[in-house]
Amino acid sequence: MGPGEYLTARFRTASAHYRGDVDVGELYAAQAARWRAADPLLPAPEPPAPDPVLVPGGAGWTTRNDVDPEGMSASWTGLRNHGLSALVAGPDPAAALGALLDRWEPRLGPPDDDESTAEVVWPSRDTTPLLALARHGFAPAVVLAAGPTGRAAPAPATDVVIRPARGADVGVVARFGLEIVRYDGRFGALGERPSTLPRLVEGYAAALARPIESVWLAERDGRPVGMCSVDPPGYADEARGLCAAPTVGYLGSMYVDPAARGGGIASVLHAVADGALAAAGAGVTLLHHAVPNPVSTPFWYRHGYRPLWTHWQRRPALRAPARR
């Protein structure tokens, strides 16, 4: 029995709410083909897990993840996160995704919990089902963008000096990291918590202890005015599965002091980081950015990045109906 037959046998089934036949193996094959056609950098969809929620043209799997407020992830998300992954195909993938979102709704309470997030992470270029997310009140909050490594435009001439950060710089590097969280916090997906600065200090201390350069400071007259950090291929395990390229690097942070912006400092930092990632063997660089960020979004797209995955979010996960 081939994998396709296995899936068909296992999931040719009717759920408690939907009594028609849904062939999950066929859904998987159709979605995988659509993703391949939409974007060569996409990996194949996750293979179907048991016990899907079934609707006409769709199968979905839900998760709930409680986040430790003391952990680093608590700065990137709400504390009670609901996730939906799905296979949708057929004549109307948006209708199938919409039906799955409707089925998900009762699981997202209690209503008005500001620490709850409902999130669907979908390939940015597989646009056929997206209308369902927009119509269900989800917004594109964060994008994982991808760009070819080693092709940064030559760094513009500036009066700043770029140097690798050292262990003793961890305080200033983490402060810059905190300013990124504070600024991106204005757009709703991430936000500062009491644990943010201590976790950033730990994370950057680990990056500074690597045997390979991963963090750089931009200095003007000996004073730090900017910072960029990366995870070279050997340290970018989390990013690797999100992209079909054999070797990926991850650009984790970029910051320039507000008084020094608009003079090319981030462009110089990017050129250095890009060269280092290319030297470490990366073929593609991935990075996250908040979609509404009016300075980082244009910066990244001008520097050759483009969206790969979009995080569609609703926070709170569920709103109580308005009282009349």
Ligand X SMILES: CC(C)(COP(=O)(O)OP(=O)(O)OC[C@H]1O[C@@H](n2cnc3c(N)ncnc32)[C@H](O)[C@@H]1OP(=O)(O)O)[C@@H](O)C(=O)NCCC(=O)NCCS
Minimum distance from CB of 183 to ligand X (Å)? 5
Q: What angle do CA 252, 149, 188 make, to 5 degrees?
A: 30
Report if residue 264 touches ligand X, rule: CB under 6 A. Answer: yes
Question: Using CA atoms, how far apart are residues 53 and 97, in angstroms rounded to an integer?
Answer: 11
Is omega for the bond preceding 110 within 30 degrees of 0, making it cis? Answer: yes
Residue 110 to residues 15, 137, 176, 278, 316, Cα–Cα distance (Å): 25, 17, 36, 47, 9
Report if residue 254 touches ligand X, rule: CB under 6 A. Answer: yes
Report if residue 180 touches ligand X, rule: CB under 6 A. Answer: yes
Minimum distance from CB of 296 to ligand X (Å)? 4
Q: Restricting to residues 269-298, which ones interact with ligand X according to CB under 6 A?
A: 289, 293, 295-296, 298
Interface with ligand X (CB under 6 A), residue from 262, 321, 322, 324: 262
Q: Which is nearer to ligand X, 88 or 180 (CB)?
A: 180
Q: Which is nearer to ligand X, 74 or 266 (CB)?
A: 266
Taking CB under 6 A as the binding criterion, the range among 49-57, 73-81, 97-105, 261-269 that sits at the site for ligand X is 261-269
Report if residue 265 touches ligand X, rule: CB under 6 A. Answer: yes
Q: Which two tokens stand for residue 118?
A: 């409902």
Q: Restricting to residues 139-168, which ones interact with ligand X according to CB under 6 A?
A: 156
Minimum distance from CB of 165 to ligand X (Å)? 16
Neighbouring CB atoms inside 10 A of 239's CB total: 23
Q: Which two tokens stand for residue 296?
A: 């980082």
Report if residue 299 touches ligand X, rule: CB under 6 A. Answer: yes
Minimum distance from CB of 253 to ligand X (Å)? 7
Residue 228 pairs in a beta bridge with: 216, 254
**In contact, 315 and 114? CB cutoff 8 Å:** yes
Amino acid at 302: R
Residue 215 pairs in a beta bridge with: 229
Question: Using CA atoms, how far apart are residues 171 and 190, in angstroms rounded to an integer?
Answer: 21
Q: Which is nearer to ligand X, 17 or 186 (CB)?
A: 186
Interface with ligand X (CB under 6 A), residue from 256, 271, 282, 284: 256
**What residues make contact with ligand X under the rule CB under 6 A?**
156, 180, 183, 254-256, 261-267, 289, 293, 295-296, 298-299
